[in-house]
Chain A
Amino acid sequence: MLTPILAVIVRDLRLALRRRSDIASVLFFFIIVVSLFPLGVGPEPAQLRKLAPGVLWVAALLATMLSLPRLFADDYRDGTLEQLALAPQPLGLIVLGKVIAHWLISGLPLTLLAPVLGIQFDLSGEALAILTVSLLIGTPALSGIGAIGAALTLGVRGSGVLVSLLILPLYIPVLIFGAGAVDATLTGTGAQAHLSLLAALALAGVFFSPWPSAAALRIALE
């Protein structure tokens, strides 16, 4: 049961390593967007601290968004998606593998970069730690929910824009609790509640989204 999931993860990671420019463009986008804010808003520490959680989280959402249209499109184009759909295990499990791989390729590097970028916003050590933890918990939800959008828009012209329209509204809860966790640390009320809710969203996002995604993929393959 686990072998096919592992096989998908290994395959997608290997493909990503052979095509590093894809990962690099997502990370570079994240770095640039986040770095533009201190330049644009001005170097006032109090103001930057206030902006930081929102800016970092919105940039993470948009960067994830950027990598979503390709999640299934390549497999669809070269026929491997048909083979995945015909594999003897449920397509949902394979999609779960792809979601995990997508997180390892986009969500995890974003999370690791965030504390470094957060320094530009004069965040304290504690706030940086909470920011990293919130991204670590929240980004899997982005990959999971995003997979539904990527599957629904598969084979549609202009799917990039359509994915954003479909998925960004669904990202709002993740954004609120993710940025809220950092905000709460800054104001001293504790991030525990936000992080718990974020974890709940991530669990639901990762483990329930593969099934509607699989259904959408089957329709796209007809």
Chain B
Amino acid sequence: MLETSDLECQRGDRRLFAGLGFRLDAGELLYLRGHNGSGKTSLLRMLCGLLPPAAGEIRWRGQPIGKLGEDYRRELCYLGHHNAIKEELTPLENLLTAAALADEPLDEDQALDALETLGLAGREDLACRYLSQGQKRRVALARLVNERRPLWLLDEPFVALDVAAVDLVAGLIGAHLQRGGLAVLTTHQPVEIAAGTVRELVLAREMTAC
């Protein structure tokens, strides 16, 4: 479903990777690995369409994502480095606002359930700036509980989480893959995710200046 061919990424005058191609089908998980600065985040941002590749093409269901535009964005869920939550809003408001902006139906009970799943019961009405780093990450990840879009692109989802939360999120990703979803994620932690096919892509060091 998700296919790339000959992808090249250039940041400044450094080429991070070139000639990158892979294919990911329903129910498959792709781990992106590589040292810091190898271009994992850049690749994820390319896959969302935020960063245009220097060369190559990304196709979703056989069509280039640039051409699909909004239809592609409707099918993907991206969780970036930043939590994309507002410090002044409560976890509940953050979740409901994010859903409204993404044009996804989500009622208050579902949002409360999602927060409870992530262990944030009792914190729904506390402004996010009073939460710890790990709790903020949990608020961001609570989006995944009701997320039914087929393609998940997750950038370091386990960062700042405790062991219990890591298992919980791994479970969410596993359930998503069981439903026939796709997931691409970067992580430095070894995490067990129950998935049919797990692929791994290592972005090797390539420092050629162009």
Assuming the contacts A8-B101, A83-B98, asked whether A89 and B70 have C-beta atoms less than 8 A apart, the reply is yes
Scan B133-171; emit 1 where CB is below 8 A from any A CB, else 0: 000000000000000000000000000000000000000
B84 to chain A, nearest CB (A): 4
- Interface membership of A186, Cβ < 8 A: no
- Interface membership of A19, Cβ < 8 A: yes
- Interface membership of A15, Cβ < 8 A: yes
Query: How many residue pairs between the two chains, A and B, have CB atoms under 8 Å in the bound complex?
Result: 76
Scan A131-160; emit 1 where CB is below 8 A from any B CB, else 0: 000000000000000000000000000000
- Interface membership of A80, Cβ < 8 A: yes
Judge whether A88 and B102 touch: CB under 8 Å: yes
Find chain A residues with CB under 8 A from B103 CB.
Answer: 3-4, 87-89
Tell me the count of chain B residues lying within 8 A, CB to CB, of chain A: 28
Measured as residues with beta carbon below 8 angstroms from the partner, the interface class of chain A is 20 to 34
- Interface membership of A14, Cβ < 8 A: yes
The answer for the CA separation of A11 and B101 in the assembled complex, in Å, is 10
- Interface membership of A51, Cβ < 8 A: no
- Interface membership of A82, Cβ < 8 A: yes
Scan B88-100; emit 1 where CB is below 8 A from any A CB, else 0: 1100010001101
A84 to chain B, nearest CB (A): 6
- Interface membership of A85, Cβ < 8 A: yes
Find chain B residues with CB under 8 A from A11 CB.
Answer: 86, 89, 97, 101
- Interface membership of B127, Cβ < 8 A: yes
Chain A residue nearest in CB terms to B85? A78
Judge whether B86 and A15 touch: CB under 8 Å: yes
A216 to chain B, nearest CB (A): 14
Which residue of B48, B87, B100 contacts A78 across the interface (Cβ within 8 Å)?
A: B87
Chain B residue nearest in CB terms to A88? B74
- Interface membership of B52, Cβ < 8 A: yes
Chain A residue nearest in CB terms to B76? A86
- Interface membership of A90, Cβ < 8 A: yes
The answer for the CA separation of A221 and B52 in the assembled complex, in Å, is 11
- Interface membership of A40, Cβ < 8 A: no
Find chain B residues with CB under 8 A from A19 CB.
Answer: 88
The answer for the CA separation of A31 and B40 in the assembled complex, in Å, is 50
Scan A1-38; emit 1 where CB is below 8 A from any B CB, else 0: 00110011011001100110000000000000000000
Find chain A residues with CB under 8 A from B93 CB.
Answer: 14
Assuming the contacts A3-B103, A4-B103, A84-B101, asked whether A79 and B81 have C-beta atoms less than 8 A apart, the reply is yes
Chain A residue nearest in CB terms to B93? A14
- Interface membership of B51, Cβ < 8 A: yes
* Closest 3 pairs between A and B when the two form their complex, measured CB to CB: A79-B82, A7-B100, A79-B84
List 11 extra interface pairs beyond A86-B48, A88-B74, CB under 8 A.
A10-B97, A14-B89, A18-B89, A79-B82, A80-B85, A80-B86, A82-B84, A84-B101, A88-B73, A88-B103, A222-B51
Subset of 26 A-B contacts with CB under 8 Å: A3-B100, A3-B103, A4-B101, A7-B97, A11-B97, A14-B89, A14-B93, A15-B86, A19-B88, A78-B84, A78-B85, A78-B87, A79-B80, A79-B83, A79-B84, A80-B86, A82-B82, A82-B84, A83-B84, A86-B50, A86-B73, A87-B103, A88-B103, A218-B50, A222-B50, A222-B51
